[in-house]
Each structure stands twice: as C-alpha cells, then as structure tokens.
Structure 1
Amino acid sequence: MEQDSTIPGILLHVEAPDLNLSYSVSSGVSDLSTRAPLPENGTARIASNTKTYVAVSVLRLWEQGMLELDDPISKHISGKHAQILKSDGYDLNKITIRHLLTHTAGLFDHAGSNTYIEKVFADPSHEWTRTEQVQGCVDWGNPLFEPGEQFSYSDTGYILLGEIIENVTEKSLGKAVRELIGFKKIGLNATWWEKIEQKLTASPERIHQYFQGMDTFNFDPSLDLYGGGGLVANTKDMARFYQELFAGNVFEQSSTLDTMITKVSFPEEYTPSSDYRMGIFYFKFNEMDMYSHSGFWSTQATYIPELNASVSIIITQFAKGRLINRLLNETAGLLEGY
C-alpha cells in the first residue's frame, strides 16, 4: 500500500463473502513517539461512523413498537434539554425523530462551530456533558430552517437521538446499542463505546490518531461521545457491521432497511448538498451505488451492493478524505476484477 510520508498509518479491510474474502491490511506506525508497527486489527475512535449504529438502534426500537419515527422529540428528550432548545426558538413539537435521523431538523451543529473546536483544543482533557453540547447548539448558532425543509448535518441531532435511546430503553447508550444491534450475534468483537462501557478484554489496543501532527490519543472521549460519535472499532468490525446490516442480519424485517435507505423528499425548489438517508450517505462512485459514512478522524465504511462487499478505511491523520476516496476507488476496482 503506497503511503504519504505525512500519514502515520493506514488500515483497510475488505469483507466480500461472494469472493470468500475477509482481508485486513495495514501500513505505518500506531504511535509516532514509539514507532510501534500498526497492527492490522488496531482499534480507533470512529467518530461519526457511530451515527449509522445509532440510526440502526433507533430503527430497531421502531420495529419493536417502542417509538414512532414521526414522534415529536418533545415526547422523548429531557425537560432540561427541551427548555434549552425552546429558548432559541426551536419548536420541539414540529421536530420529529425522523428529522433527527435525516439531518433535516434545522438544528445548528454544535460540533461544527469554531467556538466548540477552539474549546476542545484549548482544553483536551475537559469532560463534556451532553447538556453542555446541547447548550452549545443554542449559544453558538441559531435555528437554520423549518423542520423537513432542508438538509444540514448536525451532531446535535444525533446526541439527542442518543438521549432518546437511553430514555426509551432505560439503559446506557453503550448497552442499548450493543443489545439492539446484537454485537455478539453478528461478530463485532472489537467494537465498544468508549467511557460508557468497559473496554472489551478481547479488543485490540486503540491506536493513536493525529490532527495536523498533534496526537489526540489522550483527548477526553466526551468531546464526541453521546451519539454523534463515541464508538471505538477496528476496520474488520466496521466492514462486518455494514455487511451484516445489508445482508438482513440486524433488522427483524427487510422493510426496515428499505426505510433506512429510502431517499429523503424535499420541497421541489430545494436540492440538498448530500444524499443522506437515515444514518447513512448514498452516492455513486465509478457508476456503482455506495452506502457509506465517514468520521472526523479520517474513518470510513462503505457497502457496495453491486459487489456485495464492504470496505472500511482508517487513516490516522485528520482530513484525508481524498486519499480515502482513492483507496475506495482502487479497492472497488480490484474487487470488480477479482
């Protein structure tokens, strides 16, 4: 695997059952200070890749009749958080769970605010609460549009979904997601919710991830913990999750997956910047359909229906989206000709 000298490490996994292929590869080091080799099964913070797991968990609750997708969020979030959001003009009787899942609620994204990013890097050890982040949504920006009118990516929406999962199940987010998805059943043996759960005994050690040369290994995980992010996993588990999801081994009914990946409707005059479904992006790459999600720390998982294959990539340096796309393109090409 050809590697840019500015990148400490790259991990990639391919899960392609029709080709009898389950293959991991890595290149580089897991820690720039020790120069320890990067293990193929190394785990990492997968950031917004977590959103797919959260969306699937919400849809599992929907299957079980525990909530409705068109429930107003006022029905399921705490009074404290409802009051914070109402103070900025959000109508919580108009915002539904469906809106949160599809980023169409009009919520300002606290995590995308320069103020938030500055605070995180000024004090990496700060232990953030969900309430602080909801407050940031209100303090650092304003409502963007009426629910359902447009698309705007918002971590705040997914931390509210995390709260909804906790309130509906009366369990911690980590335990609820683990049980709803069935981590053990589908073989996710290296996936766990940082800080909320104990690290799995069998899970490989977490590798170091870098932001413009800065080692973020000891950044407190609460900066991205409550549903917008929070999971630690390796590339094998990331690809396996996508493969099992699209194979029909997670939902009780195939129609639930259809609901998850159905294109979102908008007013005729509006075209969204991205084709986001429920917790997953859809796009075409080299004429092939792709269902995918990426994360802040240069992580990505993708399912390719035409090949019945999943590809996951972790690059240990921030903002390497172009390289991820190149690796995905090259890997898909190899699988096509396999």
Structure 2
Amino acid sequence: MQMLHRNIHRLSGTSLLVWALLGTSGTATAQSPAAELQRVLAAEVAANPSLPGELLHVHAPAQGVDTTLAAGVFDRVSGRPLQPRHGFRVASVTKTFVAAAILRLHEQGRIGLDDAIARHLCPEQAALLRGDGYAVDSITVRHLLTHTSGIHDYATDERYYAAVFADPARRWTPLEQVRSAMQGGEPHFRPGTGYHYSDTGYVLLGAILERLTGQPLARALRTVLHFDRLGLDDTYLESLEPAPPGAAERSHTYFGEIDTSAWDPSFDLYGGGGLVSSARDLARFYRALLRGQVFDRPETLRTMLTVPPTSVDSPGGPYAIGIQRATIGGEECWGHTGFWGTVVYHCAGPDVTIVRHTNQAQPDGSFIYRHLFDQIAGVLGMGG
C-alpha cells in the first residue's frame, strides 16, 4: 500500500495539522508505569503532525500493567478526543488471523501446507493465475502464507489505486483484485525461491478458507478461531458481517488530509486486510496465539513461527506464517503491522503485549513504531 500513500500527497496537496489532545484510561499516579506510558504516547502525537490520534495498549502482568491509553482526536472535523475504547481498521494485521485459521484447518487434516493451491482454488481463480504464467500446481499453501509464491501484489499497483481514488464507493470483488495483480507482469520468481509481500496471496487464502469451510470468510474466521472463546468482542470483518452488539465505535481513518472513513472497505478486505478491532482485543488474540491457546497442538505454533530461509531478511523483520519477528527491549517478539498504523507484538519471555494504532495511513508502518516501542520497553524494564 506504499503506492497509495504517494498518491495521497499528489491528491491532498495541503499541509497536515498538529493534534495533541489527551485522553487517558484509569487513574494512574505520576509515578506509575501507566502515567509514564501516557506521557510517552502524548509526546509521540505532539511530535508527529501527521497523526490525528493514537492508541496504545500495554499488557505486562509482572509490572502490574494492563492499560489502554489514548492521545489526539477521533476525527479532525469535530476534534473529539480519541478514547481508549475506540476501534479501528487493522489492515494487514488481519493476515495473522487468516494464517491462524488455515493452520487450525491444517491441524484438523483438512488442508496440507504443501498442497498445491490448484487443489483448493475455484476454477476461475486458477485459470486467471495460469493465464498469467503462474504455476498453480507448484505454488503451495505455505508459499501463500509466507509471501514466497512470487505472485504480484495488487496493493502496490498504481492502476488499482487510481481506480480506488476515482470511485471510493466502488465495491471490489476478490477476483477483481487478483486480476489487478495479474497486470503486474511475469511472476517475481519461481515459487519458494524469494520473498515478495503479497496481499494477493492472502486474498487467495481467504477464498480457500471459504471453500474448505463452506462458510463466508467472516463466519469462517469467527468460527474456526473461536472469537467467542477468546473474548474478541470488538472484532469483525467490516461490511462482511455486522459489528457485534456493543462493539467499539470505529475511529476515522485518514490518507494525509483525506478522511476515508466512508470509503467502501472492499479495496482492502478479503483476507489481506479487513478486520476492525480494538486495542484490547488484538492484545488478547496475539497473547493467546503465542501462548499456544489458539491451536490444539504445540507443534502448530512452532510451524507458524518457522521462518523460511528466503524470508529472514524481509523488510520489517523475518517473516514466518502470517507473523513477523522483531526484537524489542532485547527480547524476541512476534506480531504484525498494518497500513493504518496498527502494530501488535507479544514478547513471550517477559509476557508483554503491546498494541499501537494511529488513525493515519503510514507507508513505513513496519519501522516507524520502533522508537516508541523501545521507550515502552524502557518504562517496563525489559531487557534490564
């Protein structure tokens, strides 16, 4: 989605405003970790004029911290303060959910990770890929999960995003997005021989989930991953299912100065993105996932965290199956980033989970969070 952000600056053409209204959760004293985290968060919003608002959730039981904090505004027009309870579009963080669902079906013997995708795609999708030179009998499910298929990414195609900007209300289909990817030309490489991040691969995985379960994607994710059992009360696939009763209100999302909140979410929806969630829900999911509470067998989590040799040096950190490794405060952590400034990491050693979200598109979201997370690690005494 980096191409999209470059288009933003051509279209908006005006400077961004600074917003730094504060919102807090709880009654922390000035000496508490929560109060220090609020100070760090407010300072980041004040120092970054492009950020209307930002949310931060930190769960660190050993330090007695379990808090969601907010700084800035919900939207620029009303200037209403962003609140800890607000929800947001998580963009590519959705990929971890899709990958976990595929792995759950793998545990149940319903799909093999080394199955050729030709076995599981609908004939129309398979024909479209074949027609553009993709060896669907050689590309495996694992290749899609690890971005090692060589398939082009529709989310970096300028023609696709020109069409999105030209008609923000358009309802896109998964097949149209795969077709857009095919405009990119020949495959990047032979399957399994390189790394190229591809939303297209996860759109195909979403379609595979639907075919294997016989359910629409939203229902498949909800039932296969047991959202109810995990306590994911604010999490839903936008426009493909209703928001759960009492779910958090979704904050506005901006491309530069353009408010995209009313845009049809289908431009980033069918597996590569699309979930709406809250900071607390994301923390619950990633902590449960990385503590082995989502899968039936420990080896499934080990499989998920295995990084292919081709992906060790991928941008943003080594990429495994729908999840990425990072070092925070000297600790090994696993998580994912999303285009709307969403970043989630769980560090198993100290049992720390950090969720950060902004309501501004960030093309370099994989890297911009690191200074903030290092400060959080310092507050929590990680690596000390």
**Which category of TM-score, normalised to the shorter sequence, fits these structures?**
over 0.9
Instruction: Write the distance in 2 (CA, Å) between the matches of 1:202 and 1:141.
Output: 45
Q: 2:328, 2:373 within 8 Å by CA — same for their partners in 1?
A: no
Aligned to 1:234: 278
Q: Secondary structure at the match of 1:66?
A: coil
Alignment: residue pair count: 336
Q: 1:15, 1:243 within 8 Å by CA — same for their partners in 2?
A: no
Q: Does 1:330 align with 2:375?
A: yes
Instruction: Write the distance in 2 (CA, Å) between the matches of 1:263 and 1:293.
Output: 14
Q: Does 1:185 align with 2:253?
A: no
* Amino acid of the structure 2 residue aligned with 1:309: V
Could you say which structure has the greater relative contact order, defined with CA pairs below 8 angstroms and 6 or more residues apart?
A: 1
**Aligned CA distance change for structure 1 residues 139 and 6 (closer, same or farther; 3 Å):** closer
Q: Secondary structure at the match of 1:41?
A: coil
For residue 285 of structure 1, the aligned residue among 318, 328, 348 is 328
Aligned to 1:315: 358
Q: Which moved more, 1:314-323 or 1:77-86?
A: 314-323
Q: Which runs of 5 or more structure 1 residues have no equivalent in the other structure?
A: none
For residue 195 of structure 2, the aligned residue among 144, 148, 151 is 151
- CA positional deviation for 1:126: 0.9
Instruction: Write the distance in 2 (CA, Å) between the matches of 1:271 and 1:330.
Output: 25
> Percent of pairs identical after alignment?
40
- CA positional deviation for 1:265: 2.8
Q: Which moved more, 1:279-288 or 1:51-60?
A: 279-288
For residue 299 of structure 1, the aligned residue among 319, 329, 342 is 342
- CA positional deviation for 1:41: 1.3
Instruction: Write the distance in 1 (CA, Å) between the matches of 2:64 and 2:56.
Output: 17
* Amino acid of the structure 1 residue aligned with 2:66: S
**Aligned CA distance change for structure 1 residues 187 and 31 (closer, same or farther; 3 Å):** same
Instruction: Write the distance in 2 (CA, Å) between the matches of 1:240 and 1:326.
Output: 23
Q: Secondary structure at the match of 1:34?
A: coil
State the Cα deviation string for residues 278-298 of structure 1 (Å, max 9, x = none). Answer: 001112234321212111111
TM-score by length of 1: 0.95
State the Cα deviation string for residues 94-149 of structure 1 (Å, max 9, x = none). Answer: 00000000000000001111222222112111110001001011123331100000
Q: 2:100, 2:225 within 8 Å by CA — same for their partners in 1?
A: yes
* Amino acid of the structure 1 residue aligned with 2:210: E
Map 1:1-338 onto structure 2 (within 5 A): 1-2=42-43, 3=45, 4-266=48-310, 272-273=314-315, 274-319=317-362, 321=365, 323-336=368-381
State the Cα deviation string for residues 242-283 of structure 1 (Å, max 9, x = none). Answer: 11111221101111100000121349xx96554110001112
Q: Which moved more, 1:179-188 or 1:163-172?
A: 179-188
Q: Which moved more, 1:123-132 or 1:287-296?
A: 287-296
- CA positional deviation for 1:306: 2.4
Q: Secondary structure at the match of 2:92?
A: helix
- CA positional deviation for 1:331: 1.2
Instruction: Write the distance in 1 (CA, Å) between the matches of 2:64 and 2:223.
Output: 28
* Amino acid of the structure 1 residue aligned with 2:130: K
Q: Secondary structure at the match of 2:168?
A: coil
Q: Secondary structure at the match of 1:23?
A: strand
What value does the CA root-mean-square deviation take over the aligned residues? Answer: 1.7
* Amino acid of the structure 2 residue aligned with 1:292: G
Q: 1:307, 1:336 within 8 Å by CA — same for their partners in 2?
A: no
- CA positional deviation for 1:63: 0.5
Instruction: Write the distance in 1 (CA, Å) between the matches of 2:74 and 2:314.
Output: 38
